[in-house]
Structure formats: C-alpha cells, structure tokens
C-alpha cells in the first residue's frame, strides 16, 4: 500500500459514458485505501477541440457502432445500470456550474448532486443540458432552486468552470474519465484494475 494519503483527482464530463461508469466506482475504491477523491467536472467539447479530437460516436461509422455496443457491455460487465441517452452528446455546462457552486456550499451535497445528474442522463434518459432539469435534480436533493438558478447564470461560476477546464488542459487531460493519483495519470474506466493495483502497491 502506498505511503501517500493525498486525494485522487477525477476529471470528467457529465455527458461521458465511461465517466459515468467511473463515477459509480472510484470513491469506494479510493476509500478502501484511505484516499478521498476530488471531482472536477469539465467540458469535453473544449478538451477535444484543443486536442484535435471528437466524441467517440462522431469519429467514424465503425467507431460509433462499436462505442454504443461497448458503453452498454462495459456497464453490464461492471454491474452498473446503463441506458444510452436519446440526446447524445449534449452540453453540460449548466450541470458543471451547478456542481462547483454547490461544492462551495456543501461538498457532500455536491457529490450527491453529481451522482444524480449522471443517473438522470444514463439511467432515466433526462435532458440534463436544460437548466430546468438541473434545477429539478437539485431541488429533489434539497438544493434551493432560486439560489441555484442565480448561480447558474453568475459570472463567477462561468469563470470557475472556465478555470477548471483550463487547469485540466494544462495538466494534459485529453479525454475523460481521467484520474490523477500522486502525479500518475490514468485514462478510461478500463484503467480501474491498474488504479487498484497502483493504490495497493504505491506504483508498479
């Protein structure tokens, strides 16, 4: 087991299927090794543009067909519910801004909110790009709807999200989920076995 107990950093986009799969596993895995996880919603649209890339389902017909199959099969393999969203990909700046505002208010509630957004999109097929859906998801877990509505439009939250995306790009994030443990990057939900071994052994 590693000597370090510093937190893991988890970069994700709320519209990323593999990020959703990672979100359902990473906290419990880290906790087994006495670690916490810092969640960082970012915007893959900007990240892809900076890296000359694109969403998997828009890269080629063959890659799109495989990706749709692999999202669902990987979810079944991991024992996680998954229904591919009708609208995909979709914009997630409202959900991300809501997360950062909530995190300043109550970080446990922010984590609960993030899970609720992922599950609304990937289980209940909700349009989480819409501000109303984001407000409704918040309201269900006790977030003040009026304050959240103001926060979604606030220049501070727009700037905060921009800074998080810039920081992720500066770190070398090119896709999601992207996990950093003691300076070591891991890309993709399929790196969970390597993440587990890394936490267990402190490096291999």
Which residue of 74, 80, 84, 131 would you call a contact of its own copies, by CB under 8 A?
Answer: 74
* Both tokens assigned to 127: 């349009």
Question: Can you tell me which residue has the tokens 């709807």?
Answer: 145
154 belongs to the binding site for its own copies (CB under 8 A): no
Asked if residue 192 lies in contact with residue 25, where contact means CB atoms within 8 angstroms, the answer is yes
Q: Which stretch binds its own copies (CB under 8 A): 25-33, 54-62, 85-93, 99-107?
A: 54-62
Contact partners, residue 122, CB within 8 Å, separation at least 6: 17, 20, 81, 82, 83, 84, 85
CA-based nearest residue to 161, from 112, 94, 115, 110 = 94
Q: Which CB, 123 or 169, lies closer to its own copies?
A: 169
Which residue of 4, 53, 57, 112 would you call a contact of its own copies, by CB under 8 A?
Answer: 53
How far apart are alpha carbons 39 and 203 in whole angstroms? Answer: 22
183 belongs to the binding site for its own copies (CB under 8 A): no
Q: Which residues bind its own copies (CB under 8 A)?
A: 50-53, 59-60, 62-63, 65-66, 69-70, 73-74, 76-77, 169, 172-175, 185, 187-188, 190-191, 193-194, 197, 204
């Amino acid at each position: 087991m590693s000597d370090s107990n510093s937190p893991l950093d988890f970069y994700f986009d709320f519209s990323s299927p593999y990020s959703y799969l990672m979100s359902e596993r990473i906290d419990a895995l880290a906790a087994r090794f006495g670690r916490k996880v810092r969640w960082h919603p970012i915007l893959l649209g900007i990240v892809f543009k900076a890296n000359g890339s694109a969403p998997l389902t828009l890269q080629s017909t063959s890659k799109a067909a495989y990706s749709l199959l692999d999202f669902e099969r990987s979810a079944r393999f991991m024992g996680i519910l998954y229904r591919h969203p009708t609208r995909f990909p979709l914009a997630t700046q409202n959900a991300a801004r809501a997360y950062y505002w909530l995190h300043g208010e109550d970080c446990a509630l922010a984590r609960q909110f993030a899970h609720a957004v992922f599950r609304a999109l990937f289980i209940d097929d909700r349009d989480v790009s819409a501000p109303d859906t984001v407000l409704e998801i918040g309201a269900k877990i006790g977030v003040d709807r009026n304050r959240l509505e103001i926060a979604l439009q606030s220049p501070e939250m727009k700037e905060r999200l921009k800074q998080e995306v810039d920081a992720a790009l500066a770190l070398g994030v090119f896709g999601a989920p992207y996990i950093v443990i003691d300076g070591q990057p891991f890309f993709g939900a399929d790196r969970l076995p390597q993440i587990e071994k890394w936490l267990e052994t402190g490096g291999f």
